[in-house]
Chains A and B, each alone.
Chain A
Amino acid sequence: MANALINAPKTAKRGDTIEIKALILHPMETGFRPGTNGRMIPRNIIEHFSARWNGEEIFAMTFSPAIAANPFVSFFTVAKESGKIDFLWTGDEDFRVTESVAITVT
């Protein structure tokens, strides 16, 4: 069950710097921990996160096993034009979640 929460303004003035926050449900299992049976729990992390504004990449990051479960990412960008921001998380075990929000720029 994958789910995410995005916090972005619905409207912004052209040229404004806006903050975007993205939170996603994920165990971020490091691959370095033994389970209760003594065997290593296989690594299961998000590897990559990106945000595109009307198709153009505005933010991207690569994750590492040292990042806590349910990663919360916050970044800033400059509002240019109305449209859609698409978010994409990909990772181990074919993890792939997309989310998008609409924004109006005046």
Chain B
Amino acid sequence: MRLRYLGLALVSIFVASWAAAQSGGGDQRRTGYQDMSAPLQQMEDDDTANPGMLFVQAGEILWNAPAGKANKACADCHSAVDKSMKGVAARYPAFAKDTDTLVDLDGRINLCRTGQQQADALKPESQDILALSAYVTRASRGLPIAPPADPRLVKVRAEGEVLFKRREGQLNLSCANCHDDNAGRKLAGATIPQGHPTAYPVYRSEWQTVGSLQRRLRNCMIGMRSEPYAYNSAEYVALEAYLMDRAKGLKIESPGIRP
């Protein structure tokens, strides 16, 4: 049903003239939060009404639970999350210090699962990875997105930018067609956001659960009738790195709410 609406809405996008180039001084960036209705904003702001907090709570339990052959808890090595993980989510994707591999936050957590705890990697979008990720990200709530200066990331971001601006899929659209050229306009009932990743992991009412940024990107790709990448693929991590850089300085709001 959503696809049909999308088709209709796309026609109107193409008929209408492309948005005028953004001009003038000042930061023109807006987060999806600013485009949400007041009741949804209140739901996000109230920790006892925000269902994302249920995952944060679940993450706290996992953080303190010994796991794997090493029988170690995250807390055994990292102590309290509000100290050790403050600002961490704001700088991923990054190259992991101990293994030199490029990972997003969920990938980093899984490196610790497999390498440090000697446990199985957590499956993409499983409740446990979302809970741990939400718990770690919450320690950065309110902090500005701060991608690392690591020169190796320059190439990764450039790859992400290519993917963002490249037309693809049966509708021959790029991410930029919506999130750069038509942000603020309507796609059926939804306001097209600028596409900043401040809210992730996010509680999305349409999903009725928490999901990762990769799940969000997968949704957009299905909307473009393009073949979504596999979870944890280099393409998603490159897109995430580009999006984080594009949103540099905007504040982390996870666990966010989105319609």
**Taking beta carbons and an 8 Å cutoff, which residues of A are in contact with B?**
1, 3-7, 21, 23-25, 27-28, 68-70, 72
In the complex, what residues of A have CB within 8 A of residue B46's CB? 7
In the complex, per-residue mask of B197-216: 1 if CB is within 8 Å of any chain A CB, else 0? 00000000100110000000
Chain B residues 18-60 with CB under 8 Å of chain A are: 46-49, 51, 53-55, 57-58
Give 27 CB contacts A-B under 8 Å: A1-B58, A1-B127, A1-B131, A3-B54, A5-B47, A5-B48, A5-B53, A5-B54, A5-B57, A7-B46, A7-B48, A7-B49, A21-B48, A21-B49, A23-B49, A23-B53, A23-B54, A24-B54, A25-B51, A25-B54, A25-B58, A28-B208, A68-B205, A68-B208, A70-B54, A70-B208, A70-B209
**Taking beta carbons and an 8 Å cutoff, which residues of B are in contact with A?**
46-49, 51, 53-55, 57-58, 61, 127, 131, 205, 208-209
A3/B58 in contact, CB under 8 A: yes
Beyond known contacts A21-B49, A23-B54, A72-B51: 4 more, CB 8 A cutoff: A5-B48, A7-B48, A7-B49, A23-B51
Which A residue's beta carbon lies closest to that of B57?
A: A3
In the complex, what residues of B have CB within 8 A of residue A69's CB? 208-209
State the Cβ distance, B61 to closest chain A Cβ, in Å.
Answer: 7
Which A residue's beta carbon lies closest to that of B128?
A: A1
Complex CA distance for A27 and B58, rounded to whole angstroms: 15
B61 contact from A1, A21, A27, A70, Cβ within 8 A: A1
In the complex, what residues of B have CB within 8 A of residue A3's CB? 54, 57-58, 61
For the A-B complex, the count of residue pairs with Cβ-Cβ distances under 8 Å equals 43
Complex CA distance for A68 and B209, rounded to whole angstroms: 10
B48/A6 in contact, CB under 8 A: yes
Complex CA distance for A5 and B50, rounded to whole angstroms: 9
B58/A70 in contact, CB under 8 A: no
Most chain B CB within 10 A, of A4, A6, A23, A28, is at A23
Complex CA distance for A70 and B47, rounded to whole angstroms: 14
State the Cβ distance, A3 to closest chain B Cβ, in Å.
Answer: 5
Which A residue's beta carbon lies closest to that of B131?
A: A1
Which A residue's beta carbon lies closest to that of B60?
A: A3
In the complex, what residues of A have CB within 8 A of residue B57's CB? 3, 5
State the Cβ distance, A69 to closest chain B Cβ, in Å.
Answer: 4
State the Cβ distance, A64 to closest chain B Cβ, in Å.
Answer: 16
A70/B51 in contact, CB under 8 A: yes
In the complex, what residues of B have CB within 8 A of residue A25's CB? 51, 54-55, 58
Which B residue's beta carbon lies closest to that of A6?
A: B48
In the complex, what residues of B have CB within 8 A of residue A21's CB? 48-49
